[in-house]
Amino acid sequence: MLHQNTFVVRTRGRGTLEVTAEVSHIVATSGVGTGLCHLFLQHTSASLILSENADPSVRQDLETAMRRLAPDGDPTNAHDTEGPDDMPAHLRSVLTSNALTIPCAAGRLLLGTWQGIFLWEHRLAPHSRSIVVTVQGDP
């Protein structure tokens, strides 16, 4: 059995936004009992991460670390078409990922106790981001 759905998330600019509930709903209504849920973000300046969902300071620390690895306005970046956060956003996306795969059983995501699915916006301005969710497996 195969089920595919796309949903759009409106970000507030740089930072993380939890999308676990949206993905869980798609899995629960897919008709798939046991299988895999694959998420694909259709963008090159944001990413998907599986992260701690109980303590937001974890994601703050991730942002702080990423700021050191990919600072805005780095004069060595040639690509700055859309501003000083343009190339750093692409670099952050490559260092993380635009896809995740999570196992499912009994129509539920098999996430660990403290795991959540987050869209990590790397641009400073708000954006609309599309996530394709494909659920495949047995009923």
pLDDT in tens, 5-61: 999 999 999 999 999 999 999 999 999 999 999 999 999 999 999 999 999 999 999
* pLDDT at res. 133: 98
* pLDDT at res. 103: 98
Which is it for strands 34-41 and 46-52: parallel, antiparallel or unpaired?
Answer: unpaired
Q: What is the mean predicted confidence (pLDDT) over 101-126?
A: 98
Q: What is the mean predicted confidence (pLDDT) over 107-119?
A: 97
Q: What is the mean predicted confidence (pLDDT) over 105-110?
A: 98
pLDDT per residue over 48-98, tens digit each?
Answer: 999 999 999 999 999 999 999 999 999 999 998 899 999 999 999 999 999
* pLDDT at res. 122: 98
* pLDDT at res. 80: 87
Put the strands of the sheet holding 99-105 in their side by side order: 2-10, 128-138, 34-41, 99-105, 108-109
